[in-house]
């Protein structure tokens, strides 16, 4: 981290932190509200965070030293300094997170004050601070909820949200009663809302829409159900299922169904706006999104149950989701498609090799597929904390055990697969998609596949962030057209 003073030559900026740091670390800074303290975040992958601070009034200036607040604890920490207190959101001794107050001058864990304790039914995702209040957003069974507490941790009220959905972008100011957030759902585009913590606000205030887009579909025409199904080990997994309200699943007719998942990096699959699913549902298709282990839906224990040596749980959860959809009459093997991107591409790749009979078609986007050598390319070494390092003998065993590329067999007839990647992807090297497609096409020349083995490599594009609209439209059109073609949706 470098310290830059406006109007000076950046080449002269002094380095204030990072000398000798491991390249796997991620660094970030923020300032306290009054500008006195700088808070430094040092993230060790997706497992843990160290926090340091320094006094910006120190006569040493940019050469001032950082003092530890939290160091060497295997847990996530984040927060904001207000006065002499760090209000921290952490999963330390609280898998589903809690909010603690840490005295900067006496930061030992024994002195922490728990303000908002861990709840049995809520996973806290984010906190913000308005005038005299703490705003908390969290998940109950993968559905967003929003609460207002005072600074002592006493619950004041729950904020009414429009429907099941996701809350992001929580923002507030210590000098204002107002706070802002973004809400979206499967059929509702992201909209910015404003709400107040004022004592004059109603007990259950209705947030005010500040900026919104028009909806593409009447939500009353679509049925959104949340179900829970058992995975291989009996763990109950939630899943959202969307279909046209008038579409019957009890008449024995299998419907073209797309199942998606992710299951990793503490990232949940909460209800977010996906306009591309609208024509699919309007045409009689079904869309299902499973909340697999490895995400954040039920806290850090849920995340760790799907990482490193537990990664097979994620694939078992996903396979069980497909079997559930078939057993309940939504679809059958000949009308089921699976789709995943990035870590989700690994998910569908592993499902393809472990259960080639499960789905008729696979859409595999910007995937990781060779898990024995993944860490050698681009920035993938950063993910060793999530997957494990193949150079560690113990980790090699579990990585090889599920690595999709290493479990393609010449005596198996594989389903149709459309793999798409981008030549300039700087996150997941396109070599994964290319070599897997080449291997599957080779096997198809020996044992005929059940459908085409396709690869698209896009020029002038990367992993997806910042992709222009016309490229997003083309990518989505190709992928959904492939699934409609293979699953028989017209």
Q: What is the pLDDT of residues 284-298, one digit of tens each?
A: 999 999 999 999 999
The pTM score is 0.95
Give the least confident one: 210-224, 299-313, 329-343. 210-224
CATH level 3 topology of 10-211:
Methylamine Dehydrogenase; Chain H (2.130.10)
Give the least confident one: 164-168, 248-252, 260-264, 433-437. 248-252
pLDDT at 240: 99
CATH number of this structure's domain 219-487: 3.40.50.1820
What is the location of CATH 2.130.10.120 in the chain? 10-211
Give the least confident one: 58-62, 221-225, 482-486. 58-62
Looking at the predicted structure, is the pLDDT value of residue 202 above 70?
Answer: no
pLDDT band at 23 (very low <50, low <70, confident <90, very high): confident
pLDDT band at 204 (very low <50, low <70, confident <90, very high): low
Helix, strand, or coil here: 92? Answer: coil
Looking at the predicted structure, is the pLDDT value of residue 99 above 80?
Answer: yes
Q: What is the pLDDT of residues 344-369, one digit of tens each?
A: 999 999 999 999 999 999 999 999 99
What is the location of CATH 3.40.50.1820 in the chain? 219-487
Helix, strand, or coil here: 347? Answer: helix
pLDDT band at 33 (very low <50, low <70, confident <90, very high): confident
Q: What is the rounded CA–CA span in Å between residue 362 and residue 337?
A: 6
Residues 6+ apart with CB under 8 A from 336: 257, 259, 322, 325, 326, 358, 359, 360, 361, 487
Percent of the chain with pLDDT over 70: 99
pLDDT at 60: 86
pLDDT at 165: 98
Task: Transcribe 370-391 into DSSP letters.
Answer: -TTTGGGSTTGGGGHHHH--TT
Looking at the predicted structure, is the pLDDT value of residue 216 above 80?
Answer: no
The residues annotated as belonging to the active site are 342, 463
């Amino acid at each position: 981290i470098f310290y830059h003073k406006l109007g000076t030559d950046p080449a002269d900026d002094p380095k204030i932190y990072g000398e000798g740091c491991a390249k796997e670390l991620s660094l970030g800074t923020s300032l306290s509200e009054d500008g006195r303290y700088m808070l430094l975040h040092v993230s060790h992958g997706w497992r843990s965070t160290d926090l340091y601070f320094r006094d910006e009034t120190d006569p040493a200036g940019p050469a001032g030293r950082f003092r530890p607040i939290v160091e060497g604890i295997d847990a996530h920490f984040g927060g904001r300094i207000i006065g002499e207190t760090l209000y921290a959101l952490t999963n330390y001794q609280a898998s589903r997170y809690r909010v603690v107050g840490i005295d900067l001058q006496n930061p030992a864990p024994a002195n922490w004050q728990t303000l908002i304790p861990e709840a049995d039914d809520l996973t806290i995702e984010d906190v913000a601070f308005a005038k005299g209040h703490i705003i908390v957003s969290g998940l109950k069974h993968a559905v967003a909820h929003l609460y207002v507490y005072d600074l002592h941790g006493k619950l004041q009220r729950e904020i009414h949200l429009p429907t099941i959905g996701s809350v992001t972008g929580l923002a507030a100011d210590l000098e204002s009663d107002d706070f802002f957030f973004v809400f979206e759902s499967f059929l509702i585009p992201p909209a910015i809302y404003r709400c107040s913590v004022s004592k004059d606000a109603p007990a259950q205030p209705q947030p005010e829409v500040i900026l919104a887009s028009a909806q593409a579909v009447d939500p009353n025409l679509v049925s959104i159900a949340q179900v829970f199904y058992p995975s291989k080990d009996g763990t109950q997994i939630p899943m959202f299922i969307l279909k046209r309200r008038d579409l019957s699943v009890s008449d024995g007719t299998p419907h073209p169904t797309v199942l998606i998942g992710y299951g990793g990096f503490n990232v949940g699959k909460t209800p977010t706006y996906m306009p591309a699913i609208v024509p699919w549902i309007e045409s009689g298709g079904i869309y299902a999104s499973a909340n697999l282990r490895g995400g954040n839906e039920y806290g850090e224990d849920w995340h760790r149950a799907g990482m490193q040596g537990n990664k097979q749980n994620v694939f078992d959860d996903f396979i069980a989701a497909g079997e559930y959809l078939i057993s309940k009459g939504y679809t059958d093997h000949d009308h089921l498609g699976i789709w995943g991107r990035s870590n989700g591409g690994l998910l569908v790749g592993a499902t393809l090799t472990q259960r080639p009979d499960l789905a008729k078609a696979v859409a595999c986007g910007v995937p990781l597929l060779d898990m024995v050598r993944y860490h050698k390319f681009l920035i993938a070494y950063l993910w060793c904390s999530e997957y494990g390092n193949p150079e560690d003998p113990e980790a090699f065993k579990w990585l090889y055990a599920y690595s999709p590329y290493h479990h393609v067999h010449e005596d198996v007839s594989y389903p149709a697969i459309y793999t798409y990647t981008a030549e300039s992807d700087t996150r997941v090297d396109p070599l994964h998609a290319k070599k897997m497609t080449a291997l599957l096409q080779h096997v198809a020349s020996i044992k005929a596949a059940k459908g085409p083995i396709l690869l698209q490599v896009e020029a002038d594009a990367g992993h997806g962030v910042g992709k222009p609209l016309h490229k997003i439209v083309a990518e989505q059109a190709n992928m959904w057209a492939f699934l409609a073609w293979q699953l028989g949706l017209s």
